[in-house]
Structure 1
Amino acid sequence: MTESAEDTAGGATAPPPSAPEGGYPAARLRLLQDDTPTGPDRRAALARLTDDWLAALLTGAAGTAGVRGTALVAVGGYGRGELSPRSDLDLLLLHDGRAATADLAALADRLWYPVWDLGLDLDHSVRTPSEARKAAREDLKVQLGLLDARHLAGDPELTAAVRTAAYAGWRESAPKRLPELHELCQERAARQGELQYLLEPDLKEARGGLRDATALRAIAASWLADAPRGGLEAARSRLLDTRDALHLTTGRATDRLALQEQDQVAGALGMLDADALLRQTYEAARTISYAADVTWREVGRVLRARSVKPTLRGLLPGRTAAKGERSPLAEGVVELDGEAVLARTARPERDPVLVLRAAAAAAQAGLPLATHAIRRCAAAAATAPLPVPWPAEAREQLVTLLGAGAHTVPVWEALEAEGVIGRLLPDWERVRCRPQRNAVHTWTVDRHLVETAVRAAALTRRVHRPDLLLAAALLHDIGKGWPGDHAVAGETIARDVASRLGFDSSDTAVIATLVRHHLLLIETATRRDLDDPETVAAVAEAVGSPGTLELLHALTEADALATGPAAWSSWRDGLVTDLVARVADRLAGEPAADPRETEGPTAEQERLAIEAARTGGPVLSLHARPESAPQAAEDGTAAAREPVGVELLIAVPDQAGVLPAAAGVLALHRLTVRAADLRALDPVGEGPVLLLSWRVAAEYGSLPEADRLRADLVRALDGSLDVPARLAERERAYARRSRAVLAPPPRVTVATGSSRTATVIEVRAQDAHGLLHRIGRALEASGVWVRSAHVSTLGANAVDTVYVTRDDGTLLSEGEAADLAKALEEALR
């Protein structure tokens, strides 16, 4: 149907139905009772039968009334030949203006009353061709209805003239009318919701329904843009078939698929049950919604190119590069005309991680991922898939995508629509479009998992391992759809998926534990006596470690927030927080020692330190190194894998400003720090040397030469290179492509009792250019001595730990540590 049915005219009021006579009612009834025709065939047959009946009515009525120069035209859904059993009839009676008004009224009565006598709904109007054109210019809904005009009877030239004028007028006015149509679609979606997630969806009005499919036909008719055709017609046909079955089972002209009628409708369509019906309906709606998203973006680009500025609101992203300008986002990924697209030099057939890198870059930048980019990567993946287990970069890019917050959703949906998610995560197909027959749940199972990751992204500052939190959020309900307890089934599936993603055995065990017990805290807090020691002991035994408890607490909150407004409250939050505090006290043990106190330098590190001590200047070593074994996490729980990258070693005689200078130089050379360590050595007994061990990767392009890095580091240390000014200049230059993610604010805490020999400061923040440089400058300004620093970048989250003391090597007081944490937090805002 069009955005709404053709407006009614003629002024007649339908009388009470009388008993119909003639052959049409009987033939119509036989057709609707016949199970042989399929949905499309039956709709077409019903339209033909109705066409013949109405044509005969017009012929007889025109002869009786003595009126010539008329034509009966079907518009809207009837014009498209999409007659469901209880569809209304959208009819336009055209006339050439020569007949008397009374004769036209008599003719109209002889047409409309037989329809009403059958109990059918009727939308009707009586117009001349010029009146029809005028109404179309004044009313968008009338104009859309005329695009589906189909001649039924009478003078075909009248119909052809109106149809030709309708298309010409639509194409001429489309630059102004399409934004109006887009606004109507958005308003309708706000009222009716998204069909793909509703337990009782409106097949016509909800987003992704039949109205949107018709809007796509109108866009195509404008010749300004066209929808992706893959599966679109099949999706529309499935929704029409479902509406047909709904009409037949209820005997009513309804588009709402109510819960109490879903089993009957499923049976009428030959499906197993109502869940199968909803999954198929959701699939169809997703296809239409995705096609609408892609098409409206294309409309926006076309209208922007035509400089139709005032009417573009809502059609275009708020932040775009200049038209035609390519702005780098990541290796092989650029921004172009408001989308993330592949760079000209990108070779997805040689780079299986590219699709994840592009998705992560798009989500972090708040941009849609171009359809042709996804399809190109998907085609390449058919011949060059990701190896299993995944390489570290692929895992990191997935975590970055999940950590982008609300911008994750449209990118993920685009990947799903093009079949990428199913290839990357085969277990995902089991939960895809799976309904949740619980009023508390807002989303289908798969969307709930993504929404939980979105909620978890806002809680990443609370945990040491945001990557494990995000992975568990994505997988916590993966067992739904399998027999038995979904948490038990999910534990096994999550273990397999985590291994597939390349997590080591320790991380995999933590993810599996989180999935198995994702309901433990909320159920225990709301159903058990927290003053009973056995309650706390049981939870502590199931969780196993403080680090896992920390992750489970955040996952519990994210899961509840993603479920719906009724699933989380301040009362539940308080109960869970109380339980977590009690379990944490039970799990508390001796503070973890700094692992660097017992871990000596490698031979290469010692060689560089000796050379730096003897030459009195910085010494660098830059070389590729395969992914190493996991390193011990400082909280004594899950291991933290060293990200893939290139190893950069820097040895510098101890002096002020080494950390911010080195970090700033790396940022200027577009090197992303994936992991870093800083420690002091005295290799030859002539004074300390600071050894910085970095794991870096080029943001895009090739790695810089080691000599250039060393030269800039020397200049940064002697003050001839103003690193803060250069970084600020670069930030201004790239401001228009700065991250659009609304990240949680940085969080800096004092890890009391974590070390006997130093004060431990933990920094958790969104990874960004120059982040480590700003941390280093704030530490230098505070006058503390950085004894060691340990940096990890997990997806888009930086988790940095610094061990500091006073100048004399003593620990900071409680007040000094709190002031330092506050100063660091302020420096990062």
Structure 2
Amino acid sequence: MTDSVDEQDGSYAAARLRLLTQEAESGPPRRAALAALTDRWLAALAGAAAGPGPGGGQGWALLAVGGYGRGELSPRSDLDLVLLHDGATEIAALADRVWYPVWDQGLALDHSVRTPAEARKAAGEDLKVQLGLLDARHIAGDPALTSGLRSAVLADWRNQAPARLPALHEMCQERAERQGELSYLLEPDLKEARGGLRDATALRAVAASWLADAPREGLERARAQLLDARDALHLVTGRATDRLALQEQDQVAAALGLLDADTLLRQVYEAARRIAYASDVTWREVGRVLRARQSRPRRRGLLGRGRGPMPQPAPERVPLAEGVVEQEGEAVLALTAKPDRDPVLPLRAAAAAAQAGLPLSLHAVRRLAAAAPPMPVPWPAEARELLLSLLGSGEATVPVWEALEAEGLVTRLLPDWERVRCRPQRNAVHRFTVDRHLVEAAVQAAGLTRRVGRPDLLLTAALLHDIGKGWPGDHSEAGEIIVRDVAARIGFGPADVETLALLVRHHLLLIDTATRRDLDDPETIRTVAAAVRDTSTLELLAALTEADALATGPAAWSTWRASLLADLTGRVADALDTGELPDSGDGEPTAEEERLAIEAARTGGPVLALRARTEPGTDGEEQDRKLGVELLLAVPDRPGLVAQAAGVLALHRLTVRAADLRSFDPVGEGQVALLGWRVSAEYGALPEATRLRADLARAFDGSLDIEARLAEREAAYPRRRGITAPPPRVTVAPGHTSQTATVLEVRAHDAPGLLHRIGLALAATGVTVRSARISTLGADAVDAFYVVGKDGGALPSARAAEVARQVEEGLR
């Protein structure tokens, strides 16, 4: 008996060694072959221990569970075994005769001996035991015992799923907190980190519950890639380890036939992202199903007994944007959406989801990826604004961006993104891969937009500042070349393209200079001033520097670094010529403006003209709706004019993209205000000019209660407050920017009715708005109001500061 066992052990060891050293067989075939070889060996051990005779295979069964149960045995994996028995069989001796040969081989063993009832009880008390038993597989003994336990455990799992799945989700979240995100770690744990093999196993358990299922496309391949990496790691190190340490990555890459360690990490990161994204989608669906079950009423029979769930009404669909609605906590495509005819729809859906703080549904993203036509080049103005709205949404940007990236939409919109996607950073200071760092920089920049006059350029530069990584040479120099092409593709004008190229080229200039040069040396300041050219670019570069550092990691930003940067930028700003802001109201009216102003002065009522803003589409047709309209309004000047007009536009669901307010006396009988608006519809068609004029007239004569109407609309369609935007900021521009008025600059997160609220806040201070420049840059409103006091002149400094404070408080 002993000789036979020793012979079996020796044969198994030799066969196992041959299998692990065969280069021709690796990956899933080798794992399956190793599991099959181990099955035969253990079955022979158990059979010999049980002895011959009719009872030799009765009353007990040997089961493989966990990864071994799935037939996925890595070179140094534990053998997870359960010896099942009926309680009547003498089991202790049998167990010893199986366990000891395994230990003698130097193999790690996780084992238990239980009756079926004990196994079910252990599963009910320990979620990890239950998960292992879901993959139980028969090796030897009585198959009926195995099949009975498998059926019972699976039935228990499905019956207990509403209680056990939330516990499993919590376990996954706690593990992610401890181990981090596999797809961003320089030394990732292939099993325990978020997006690793544990999460892939959890997705199998969710599918087994029949409550929800993971998006399967690419999932099995991702799991196989992580298992292949772990196999190579086991063979390279000779240890049962799941951590891919830096010093072993080149050897593991070579074992897998990959070019280098960076190629290995990129492949591992891509696999982890696929699993992590599938996990997010799956757990969201689990939550939706469980909430629906909890809220579902049941019909009562004549005797008070339930007769099944009552029919449920269709889920409510709340409009978010043209072609996009909210349904059951997700942003989905509207029933009327035509993704095959609307190249801008992917960005519109993404921006709407991020602005509402909602996930973008998997079905919507896949439908967009399959159907949306290519984006025209250069992009339409709407597409550029939507990209900026997405980037300006703060933390809510990240999951929406990940959803777009999972289905290939990001690289379709920005082909240069492919080189930085999943690219590792060989720098311990960096927390993220290159692509995620760029998105995080945009997130950080969204919180700094109040500091700059061009938040659109700040957000774009943040997204693209490291786009040159992955190309040979200095990434800043390569990035400057790339960003010129990307910015022009997005639709920025030549001057803005030059500014973006400068920001990318010099995105390290300020922090390197502040921390490595003598700021008391005049040449240091002259060099930086020559590079940045003007103060507006300087403020953009300073904000980009901070966003880049904050996105890099804690070690890249500190109070000390911030103080050095502030000192440098202050000195450079003093050294630069600060040119004057253009003063609104100096330009002569056009013939059309003069005609409208004369008619308004003559009739005393509002006079308006609508003109469609068009540009050629991909097929030569014009895209009127996409670009909105220009609305020119003439009305006798009066207090509160801006608030009243803006309130009417908000009631008609018109988004103000830009506006210009001026006033002059066309006939010598009083000032007439000219308001030029560039507006677009939030969703649906643009309003009729006659209805718009009628509501404007009612607003000006006081018969339209704008506040009440806006409140009613908000109550009917409550806006999601899913993002945390920086607070509004109102400042007094330097005195030399206007000789005859005080310039108040307002920066705030764009929202329906914002301009109306700004107008009310200004009116409450008692100042008169002489002219204004309104602009919406992505998710931000950047407005300048030229105000005068009762004497018609600029406000004294103290009064101007008080007005700015009051307006800011009113907006908060």
Matched, 1:173 2:156: no
Letter in 2 for 1:49: L
Matched, 1:292 2:279: yes
Q: What's the CA shift string for 1:506-531, capped at 9, x where partnerless?
A: 11111110000000000001111111
Instruction: Name whichever of 720-729 and 40-49 sits farther off.
Output: 720-729
Q: CA deviation at 1:718?
A: 1.6
What is aligned with 2:490?
501
What is aligned with 1:635?
none
Matched, 1:93 2:83: yes
Letter in 2 for 1:179: P
CA distance, structure 2, for counterparts of residue 591 and residue 40 of structure 1 = 69
Letter in 1 for 2:491: G
What is aligned with 1:13?
none
Q: What's the CA shift string for 1:549-568, capped at 9, x where partnerless?
A: 01000000000000000001
What is aligned with 1:811?
794
Q: CA deviation at 1:19?
A: 12
Matched, 1:463 2:433: no
Matched, 1:610 2:615: no
What is aligned with 2:74?
84
What is aligned with 1:728?
711
Q: CA deviation at 1:655?
A: 1.8
Q: CA deviation at 1:739?
A: 3.0
Say if 1:762 and 1:802, in contact at 8 Å, map to a contact too: yes
Say if 2:584 and 2:786, in contact at 8 Å, map to a contact too: no
Instruction: Name whichever of 658-667 and 707-716 sits farther off.
Output: 707-716
Q: What does 1:239-638 correspond to in 2, within 5 Å?
A: 239-307=226-294, 324-381=315-372, 384-594=373-583, 596-597=585-586, 599-626=587-614
Say if 2:601 and 2:672, in contact at 8 Å, map to a contact too: yes
Q: CA deviation at 1:743?
A: 0.4
Count residues in correspondence: 779
Q: CA deviation at 1:733?
A: 3.3
Matched, 1:149 2:136: yes
State the SS of the aligned residue for 1:678: strand
State the SS of the aligned residue for 2:84: strand
Letter in 2 for 1:613: A
Q: 1:718 to 1:596 in 2, by over 3 A?
A: closer
State the SS of the aligned residue for 2:554: coil
State the SS of the aligned residue for 2:316: coil
Q: CA deviation at 1:80?
A: 0.3
What is aligned with 2:172?
185
Letter in 1 for 2:23: D
CA distance, structure 2, for counterparts of residue 471 and residue 20 of structure 1 = 66
Matched, 1:704 2:687: yes
Q: CA deviation at 1:593?
A: 3.9
Q: 1:794 aligns with which of 738, 754, 777?
A: 777
Q: 1:742 aligns with which of 724, 727, 730?
A: 724
State the SS of the aligned residue for 1:774: helix
State the SS of the aligned residue for 1:623: strand
CA distance, structure 1, for counterparts of residue 208 and residue 585 of structure 2 = 68
What is aligned with 2:663?
680
CA distance, structure 1, for counterparts of residue 538 and residue 579 of structure 2 = 17
Q: 2:222 aligns with which of 231, 235, 241?
A: 235
Q: 1:505 to 1:387 in 2, by over 3 A?
A: same
Say if 2:82 and 2:114, in contact at 8 Å, map to a contact too: yes
Letter in 2 for 1:96: D
Q: CA deviation at 1:323?
A: 7.6
CA distance, structure 2, for counterparts of residue 225 and residue 785 of structure 1 = 60
Q: CA deviation at 1:734?
A: 3.1
Say if 1:323 and 1:336, in contact at 8 Å, map to a contact too: no
Q: 1:169 to 1:593 in 2, by over 3 A?
A: closer
Q: CA deviation at 1:710?
A: 1.4
CA distance, structure 1, for counterparts of residue 578 and residue 661 of structure 2 = 27
Matched, 1:163 2:150: yes
Say if 1:323 and 1:337, in contact at 8 Å, map to a contact too: no
Say if 1:788 and 1:803, in contact at 8 Å, map to a contact too: yes
CA distance, structure 2, for counterparts of residue 114 and residue 593 of structure 1 = 87
What is aligned with 2:643?
660
Q: Which runs of 5+ in 2 are unaligned?
A: 1-5, 297-312, 617-625
Letter in 2 for 1:355: P
Q: What's the CA shift string for 1:736-775, capped at 9, x where partnerless?
A: x333210001010111121112111100001111111111
Say if 2:510 and 2:565, in contact at 8 Å, map to a contact too: yes
What is aligned with 1:317?
none
Q: CA deviation at 1:657?
A: 2.0
Letter in 1 for 2:26: T
Letter in 2 for 1:85: P
State the SS of the aligned residue for 2:91: helix
What is aligned with 2:303?
none
Letter in 2 for 1:652: V
Q: What does 1:200-239 correspond to in 2, within 5 Å?
A: 200-239=187-226
Q: What's the CA shift string for 1:683-729, capped at 9, x where partnerless?
A: 12221101111001111111111111111111111211111222233
Q: What's the CA shift string for 1:563-600, capped at 9, x where partnerless?
A: 00000111110111111011111113453341541x22
Matched, 1:58 2:40: no
State the SS of the aligned residue for 1:566: helix
Matched, 1:773 2:756: yes
Q: Which runs of 5+ in 1 are unaligned?
A: 1-17, 310-321, 629-642
Q: What's the CA shift string for 1:437-471, capped at 9, x where partnerless?
A: 11100000000000000000000000011000000
CA distance, structure 1, for counterparts of residue 21 and residue 697 of structure 2 = 88
Letter in 2 for 1:234: R
CA distance, structure 2, for counterparts of residue 680 and residue 270 of structure 1 = 73
Aligned residues: CA RMSD: 1.6
CA distance, structure 1, for counterparts of residue 316 and residue 656 of structure 2 = 28
Q: 1:72 to 1:541 in 2, by over 3 A?
A: same
Q: What's the CA shift string for 1:101-130, capped at 9, x where partnerless?
A: xx3111100000000001111111111222
CA distance, structure 1, for counterparts of residue 613 and residue 467 of structure 2 = 35
Identity across aligned pairs (percent)? 74
State the SS of the aligned residue for 2:773: strand
CA distance, structure 1, for counterparts of residue 329 and residue 419 of structure 2 = 34
State the SS of the aligned residue for 1:434: coil
TM-score by length of 1: 0.92
Instruction: Name whichever of 18-27 and 357-366 sits farther off.
Output: 18-27
Say if 1:452 and 1:473, in contact at 8 Å, map to a contact too: yes
CA distance, structure 1, for counterparts of residue 638 and residue 190 of structure 2 = 70
Q: What's the CA shift string for 1:140-161, capped at 9, x where partnerless?
A: 1111111101111111111111
Q: What's the CA shift string for 1:374-418, capped at 9, x where partnerless?
A: 11111123xx21101100000000000000000100000010001
Q: What's the CA shift string for 1:25-77, capped at 9, x where partnerless?
A: 11111111111112111101101100000000010000189764211111100
Say if 2:357 and 2:720, in contact at 8 Å, map to a contact too: no
Q: What does 1:746-757 correspond to in 2, within 5 Å?
A: 746-752=728-734, 753-757=736-740
Matched, 1:36 2:24: yes
Q: 1:108 to 1:798 in 2, by over 3 A?
A: same
Say if 1:593 and 1:756, in contact at 8 Å, map to a contact too: no
Q: CA deviation at 1:308?
A: 7.3
What is aligned with 1:197?
184
Say if 2:740 and 2:793, in contact at 8 Å, map to a contact too: yes
State the SS of the aligned residue for 2:745: strand
